[in-house]
Chain A
Amino acid sequence: MSKIGLIIKREYLRRVSKKSFILLTFLTPFLFAALVFVPLWLSSIKGDEVHTIAILDSTGKYAPLFEDTETYRFINSDQSMDTYRQIPDKEIFAFLAITEDLLENPKAATLYSKKQIPGELSRLVNMTLKKQIESDKLATFNIPNLKEIIKESKINFNIQTIKWGDDGSEKQSSSVVASITGVIFTMLIYMFILIYGGMVMQGVMEEKTNRIIEIMISSVKPFDLMMGKIIGIGFVGLTQVFLWAVMTFILITGGTFFLGGGTESEILRSSMALNTAPNITAIAVQQSGNEWIETLNTINFTEIGILFIVYFIGGYLLYSSLFAAIGSAVDGQEDTQQFMLPVTLLLVFALYAGIYSMENPDGPLAFWCSMIPFTSPIVMMVRVPFDVPLWEILLSIGFLYISSIGFTWLSAKIYRVGILMYGKKPSIKEMLKWLRYK
């Protein structure tokens, strides 16, 4: 086996056989799923306690409107407030006092309780009363069939977006779904570059501080050692991506199979309901689950998957070679900060550019940042679900790979000198000087 092959093999096997890698790889998808579904599930749990609400309605008009729900039971009471106030009834959770016709005096209804009134209850009361007041108000106009007219004029509207293919074919698209997909992949690529690039740096520093480096490079060329490490760790990353893809697939198909088709739309509905903006909730709830699945299907996951791998490899190579150069130049963890900062800033900038590009995936920010090699792996992933022209993708990949190779070459030169330098922390200027060493 060639030496670089031996190094790749060692770096790879050592890392994938670690308990922490195995645990993290298999638990993360469940953790993510839990992160999404546990709050949904928790919010859907109703307290098993049923609260009793006593209604003291002096008008007698509103009390019959309240219907019992799973959590609230409404009872009519003809006793006065003061009686209750003086002799507290433990059974009663809250009192709704309505003293006048609400159309004439909207402030005539009040909720009293010894406890904090839950938002859910006040919303329920508001909705019930509002509906009645609205219809009372409408009735005052004395227009026949007004209710029916209003009902008919409430039209559901949500614009359909269709994207034309080059051959004129129509494709239904949803910018919301595309955005979410893009952001997920962007976050993933950002995370992978940061985690695995950092791993390369740690590995280089380990060899340097262990002083094994001198033995290693008396057997192999520094370039082979560096590349072996970068490639080996890169494979670890790809292994993780692959395992996650397989597990996600199994979780989703398994989940759909066990829960049945209907549940999925329910989950989507409830996930949308979490969103506080009421108009979005309205749209989402009215859109059926099947439609969501349909738009999800318009996204070309194979293309995204392939591009994800291509951009991951390019971006990882670019950044990890920089991380390797940094790791070689410093003596210990505490010295890395100064050099890490610019690299991390670049990555964070790329992430922000990616998130802002989501709003306008064909705008100038998105375009240029998906061409510049340091940001392109991250920003392009946002744009890909929106169908980027092929020439842009090819150009951006071209730039990325050319600069990856260039930076690997430069980093190798710094690495070669840096790994044998102990003591003083070098300045950037000195590191640039190393580039010219024989």
Chain B
Amino acid sequence: MNFLETEDVVKQYAGHLALNKVSIQVPQGTIFGLLGPNGAGKTTLIRIINRITAPDSGIIRFNGHESCPEDIYQIGYLPEERGLYKKMKVGEQAIYLGQLKGLSYSEARKRLIHWFEKFDIMPWWNRKLEELSKGMQQKVQFIITVIHEPELLIFDEPFSGFDPVNADRLKQEILELKAAGHTIIFSTHNMSSVEEICDEITLINRSQVVLSGNVKEVRERFKNNTYILNVRRETGEIEELRVRKEDPISNSEWLTKLASQYEILSFTEEIPSMNDIFINTVSGTNTPKA
């Protein structure tokens, strides 16, 4: 079942079409990668899902019903451009934002204490935000995003500004949230993290969906009969070859042919990385039918 669907969403800004009939399907309980180059329309789509702006036409279905104002309580949003009140104390601020997401004061406080302890930032509770380091601020922002335990979480470039240790920590948190049944939309330019954690992706380019599907399927789809061979030459040295299978023959037939030329140590089919797929798709080459 899809937790979130958009159907032919169109959004026009003065003299520029931000979204052109964009349809996405986000299955329940998965991590969904929303990909695309800068200016493709990702942020606009996220804002529409968040009900920050309204689409000109098209439908957004949320958890089976058409999106309504109350749905925002079930969304947690971490925007790409982070920001909180600089002069406000961290704890007070987090409670306030939790209350705005529909929590009671005491409930917000209870949950925050839990999260602050988990992230070891309890001593910062009474500090002003501006006194915190960038990484700390990011942690606070992450907590604020998840505090009301929404069914849908939207992370826009969540790893930016984190050091590798904390980025990994955050990744584990995101995977934990998925395991707990939350549906997650994950927008990023970092393709290796997409491979690591995303189940489904949709790639938007120039306001349109150009690619979508399960990450494994998509990568399968982009295979182009290229194989990596580790061979030993007569001279004794080991070499890695990247060979493209041109003829429509089976792998064993082809291997027999190759084996007559080299001593084959290993044979693997090359699965294109998301990075290559992204670059190829966006730059307009190699666009298979989605």
Contact = CB atoms under 8 A, between A and B. Distances in A.
Same complex for A and B? Answer yes
A43 interface: no
Contacts of A215: 77, 79, 83-84, 97, 144
Given A210-B84, A211-B83, A220-B100, A420 B52 contact: yes
A219 B79 contact: no
A47 to B, nearest CB: 51
Contacts of A61: none
A10 interface: yes
A397 B81 CA distance: 44
A1 interface: yes
A210 B83 contact: yes
Contacts, number: 54
A6 B95 CA distance: 11
A438 interface: yes
A433 B52 CA distance: 18
Nearest to B47: A420
A142 interface: no
Interface in A202-226: 206, 210-221
Give the interface SS of chain B, mostly helix, strand, loop or mixed: loop
B86 A210 contact: yes
A218 B77 contact: yes
B83 A219 contact: no
A219 B52 contact: no
Contacts of B144: 215
B52 A217 contact: yes
A212 B84 contact: yes
B82 interface: yes
B53 interface: yes
A211 B100 contact: no
B119 interface: no
B85 A210 contact: yes
Given A217-B52, A218-B52, A219-B101, A212 B96 contact: no
B85 A212 contact: yes
Given A210-B83, A220-B100, A14 B88 contact: yes
Interface in B33-56: 47, 50-54, 56
A3 interface: yes
A217 B97 CA distance: 11
Contacts of B56: 438
Interface in A78-111: none
A430 interface: yes
A14 B96 CA distance: 12
Interface string B69-98: 100100101010111111010000000110
Interface residues of A, number: 23
B68 interface: no
Nearest to B76: A218
A396 B96 CA distance: 40
Interface in A311-353: none
B72 A211 contact: no
Contact of A211 (B14, B69, B81): B81
Nearest to B83: A211
Contacts of B69: 221
Interface in A396-438: 420, 430, 433, 438
Contacts of A206: 85
Contacts of B75: 218
Contacts of A218: 50-52, 72, 75, 77, 79
A214 B81 contact: yes
Interface in A153-201: none
B23 interface: no
A10 B81 contact: no
Interface string B136-158: 00000000100000000000000
Contacts of A6: 96, 99-100
Contacts of A430: 14
A150 B229 CA distance: 131
B14 A214 contact: no
Given A213-B83, A215-B83, A10 B52 contact: no
A219 B97 contact: yes
B58 to A, nearest CB: 12
A212 B83 contact: yes
Contacts of A214: 52, 77, 79, 81, 83
A282 B163 CA distance: 81
A14 B51 CA distance: 28
A215 to B, nearest CB: 7
Contacts of B83: 210-215
Interface in B170-226: none
14 contacts: A6-B99, A6-B100, A10-B96, A14-B88, A206-B85, A214-B79, A214-B81, A215-B79, A215-B97, A218-B51, A218-B77, A220-B100, A221-B69, A420-B47
Interface of B: 14, 47, 50-54, 56, 69, 72, 75, 77, 79, 81-86, 88, 96-97, 99-101, 144
Interface of A: 1, 3, 6-7, 10, 14, 206, 210-221, 420, 430, 433, 438
